[in-house]
């Protein structure tokens, strides 16, 4: 049987609009809409309403863009279309962003004086687009845009996040057009060069430690918008490779992404595929396949207070840029596809499809007859190590991998999960640091936090071997976990969607996560020291 997502009558763009418009009431709930309030326009409800934090998140200012799109797009059944109140609240959001920013135009996201490039860029792009969409005339907001563009043009954050670099390039391009100025052209060109250089030869863009197809779709979207404004062979070539790469990651059921990727996201930003689809029809087919999953409730939920905006504006832009004439679906090729640099293997055998992370200890998703049959994020163990800690086999690292025509074996050590939590003491210490020395070195603080919460792996005293062996279209999983002593191992299990690093867009709800936890603790307690835990499963 072929993949359901590759053979269907193309769904309507209305589904993207419906999903997006359903988020507008929550976005409005997040905003202070009292015109006489000192925080009028603020979208951070934890700050202005609950008063449980001491500064507003600058990222929240991007919510003006979904409002502006809802106001301006004549979508059937759109109750926000040309409603003056929506326009007023969007402008109020930009004014508040301007007045709550630092003097240099930057803003904070997670802690005071952070000066977060991502939050500044997302909210600037949203502001620039909103200002033009609503045909506004506000000198205070324009002055703020110029300051923020200047700050972004000269700021370089720690870590390799290509989507942020592409975002800043698009911001500078949009700002230059709004102000009819070339003042950012040289710095914009340098940023764009970096984006192109950070694209791997396999087509994906670097995100911290590797490839995340979810964030990849965001970079594709931003470059597609940029190419519309400034066509060039370099951008076009990068987009072509990026689109062809992304096409492999729409699952047979129409879902996208997951824990086998470097940043564990289910992100999917569709509007870039519609824009690029004007000259690259293969891009449209990606959205068509994704729409099958969205129609069946397999999209990820991003409706929390901090990240609700991203996909809302992307879905509305997809509606706006929708191309009526769709390409004929093409069946995915059978066989093994190995993205060596990404550390991801995709194998199709008849109705069976495997997505396997070689650089994450063999985390995988297995589809059969067009449906998710099994999701596995490898061994997890609770161990007494001075205190109770968690060791996992799914951190990004270099593992020993052995390939055969009918099997793949992955070996390595578990690593300590990154589960650092904030305490009262930590919060007070961070505030004290940022209000003194840290405010002058925010990038150093960010780099330290990235190392603690996101990057790198410290080995734990357990080793695993995972072998995936094919028997025609049947997949056999043979796992082994070894420990020098089981006395201090309190629990062992395997989850379907476990992650152990901090990524803002990860750990969202997706229907494929309904698979129950596999508890192996009883088997471990029956083992003698020196005996390995073995587990055999057939899918």
Instruction: Please check the confidence at residue 2 and state whether its pLDDT lies above 80.
Output: no
DSSP designation for 441:
-
Report the domain count for the chain. 3
Residue 395 covered by a domain: yes
pLDDT computed for residue 437 by the predictor: 73
Residues 312, 367, single domain; the answer is no
Residues 491, 351, single domain; the answer is yes
Classified as helix, coil or strand, 34 is: coil
Residues 151, 164, single domain; the answer is no
Residues 62, 102, single domain; the answer is yes
5-10 long-range CB contacts below 8 Å, 24 or more apart? 5/250, 5/251, 5/252, 5/253, 5/254, 5/289, 5/290, 5/292, 5/293, 5/370, 6/252, 6/289, 6/329, 6/330, 6/331, 6/332, 7/329, 7/331, 8/288, 8/292, 8/329, 10/288, 10/291, 10/326
Nearest CA among 240, 241, 323 for reference residue 288: 323
* Spatial contact of 44 and 329, defined as CB atoms under 8 Å apart: no
Across all residues in the chain, what is the average pLDDT?
93
Residue 122 covered by a domain: yes
pLDDT computed for residue 444 by the predictor: 76
Residue 28 covered by a domain: yes
Residues 171, 192, single domain; the answer is yes
Three-state secondary structure along 76-91? CCCCCCCCHHHHHHHH
What whole-number percentage of the chain has pLDDT above 90?
A: 82
How far is 492 from 436, CA to CA, in rounded Å? Answer: 44
Residue 286 covered by a domain: yes
Residue 142 covered by a domain: yes
| Structural domain harbouring 228 | 159-327
Residues 526, 408, single domain; the answer is yes
Q: Compute the Cα dihedral for 124, 130, 133, 134 and give only its sign.
A: negative
pLDDT computed for residue 6 by the predictor: 47
Calculate mean pLDDT across residues 21-35. 98
Calculate mean pLDDT across residues 284-299. 95
How far is 534 from 131, CA to CA, in rounded Å? Answer: 60
Q: What is the pLDDT of residues 345-383, one digit of tens each?
A: 999 999 999 999 999 999 999 999 999 999 999 999 999
Residue 295 covered by a domain: yes
pLDDT computed for residue 125 by the predictor: 98
Nearest CA among 75, 160, 87, 175 for reference residue 124: 175
pLDDT computed for residue 386 by the predictor: 83
Calculate mean pLDDT across residues 322-328. 93
pLDDT computed for residue 7 by the predictor: 47
Residues 136, 218, single domain; the answer is no
What whole-number percentage of the chain has pLDDT above 70?
A: 96
Angle between helix axes 14-21 and 64-72 (nearest 10 degrees) is 130
pLDDT computed for residue 9 by the predictor: 43
Residues 74, 179, single domain; the answer is no
How far is 41 from 431, CA to CA, in rounded Å? Answer: 26
Nearest CA among 265, 210, 198, 204 for reference residue 457: 210
Neighbours of 177 (CB within 10 A): 13
Q: How many alpha carbons fall within 13 Å on the CB side of residue 530?
A: 0
Diameter over CA atoms, the chain: 75
Residue 355 covered by a domain: yes
Q: What is the pLDDT of residues 326-350, one digit of tens each?
A: 998 888 999 999 999 999 999 999 9
Instruction: Please check the confidence at residue 453 and state whether its pLDDT lies above 80.
Output: no
Residue 425 covered by a domain: no
pLDDT computed for residue 3 by the predictor: 56
For tokens 């996101």, name the residue: 454
Instruction: Please check the confidence at residue 421 and state whether its pLDDT lies above 80.
Output: no
Instruction: Enter the pTM of the model.
Output: 0.94
Characterize 242-272 residue by residue with b for buried, 16 or more Cβ atoms within 10 angstroms of its Cβ, and e for exposed. bbebbbbbbbbbbbbbbbbbbbbbbbbbbbb
Neighbours of 538 (CB within 10 A): 10
How far is 94 from 445, CA to CA, in rounded Å? Answer: 28
How far is 367 from 373, CA to CA, in rounded Å? Answer: 5
Whole-angstrom CA distances from 256 to 209, 451, 496 are 20, 28, 15
Q: What is the pLDDT of residues 486-496, one digit of tens each?
A: 999 999 999 99
pLDDT computed for residue 5 by the predictor: 52
């Amino acid at each position: 049987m072929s993949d359901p997502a590759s053979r269907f009558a193309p769904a309507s763009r209305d589904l993207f609009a419906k999903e997006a418009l359903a988020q507008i009431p929550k976005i409005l709930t997040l905003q202070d809409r009292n015109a006489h309030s000192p925080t009028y326009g603020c979208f951070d409800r934890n700050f202005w309403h609950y008063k449980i934090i001491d500064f507003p998140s600058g990222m929240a200012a991007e919510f003006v863009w979904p409002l502006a799109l809802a106001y301006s797009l004549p979508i059937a059944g759109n109750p926000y279309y040309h409603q003056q109140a929506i326009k007023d609240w969007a402008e109020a959001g930009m004014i508040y962003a301007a007045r709550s920013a630092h003097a240099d135009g930057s803003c904070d996201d997670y802690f005071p004086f952070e000066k977060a490039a991502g939050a500044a860029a997302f909210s600037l792009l949203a502001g620039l687009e909103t200002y033009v969409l609503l045909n506004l005339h506000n000198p205070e907001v324009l002055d703020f845009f110029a300051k923020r563009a200047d700050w972004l043009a000269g700021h370089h954050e720690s870590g390799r996040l290509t989507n942020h670099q592409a975002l800043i390039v698009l911001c500078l391009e949009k700002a230059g057009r709004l102000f009819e100025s070339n003042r950012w052209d040289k710095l914009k060109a340098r940023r764009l060069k970096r984006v192109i250089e950070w694209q791997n030869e396999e087509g994906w863009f670097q995100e911290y430690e590797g490839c995340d197809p979810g964030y990849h779709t965001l970079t594709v979207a931003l470059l597609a918008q940029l190419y519309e404004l400034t066509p060039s062979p370099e951008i076009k070539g990068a987009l072509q490779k990026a689109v062809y790469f992304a096409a492999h990651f729409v699952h047979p059921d129409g879902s996208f992404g997951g824990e086998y990727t470097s940043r564990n996201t289910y992100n999917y930003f569709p509007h870039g595929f519609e824009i690029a689809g004007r000259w690259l029809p293969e891009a449209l087919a990606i959205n068509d396949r994704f729409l099958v999953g969205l129609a069946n409730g397999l999209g990820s939920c991003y409706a929390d207070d901090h990240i609700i905006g991203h996909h809302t504006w992307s879905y509305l832009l997809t509606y706006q840029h929708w191309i009526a004439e769709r390409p004929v679906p093409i069946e995915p090729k059978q066989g093994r596809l190995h993205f060596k640099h990404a550390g991801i293997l995709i194998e199709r055998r008849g109705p069976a499809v495997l997505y396997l992370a070689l650089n994450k200890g063999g985390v995988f998703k297995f589809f059969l007859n067009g449906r998710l049959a099994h999701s596995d994020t490898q061994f997890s163990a609770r161990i007494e190590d001075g205190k109770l800690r968690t060791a996992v086999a799914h951190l990004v690292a270099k593992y020993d991998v052995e390939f055969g025509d009918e099997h793949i074996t992955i070996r390595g050590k578990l690593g300590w999960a990154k589960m650092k939590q904030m305490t009262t003491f930590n919060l007070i210490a961070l505030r004290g640091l940022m209000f003194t020395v840290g405010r002058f070195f925010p990038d150093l603080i960010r780099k330290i936090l990235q190392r603690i919460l996101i990057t790198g792996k410290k080995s734990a005293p357990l080793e695993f071997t995972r072998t995936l062996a094919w028997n025609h279209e049947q997949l056999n999983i043979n796992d082994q976990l070894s420990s020098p002593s089981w006395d201090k191992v309190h629990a062992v299990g395997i989850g379907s969607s476990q992650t152990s690093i901090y990524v803002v867009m990860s750990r969202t709800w997706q229907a494929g996560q309904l698979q129950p936890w596999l508890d192996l603790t009883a088997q471990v307690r029956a083992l003698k020291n020196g005996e390995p835990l073995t587990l055999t499963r057939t899918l």
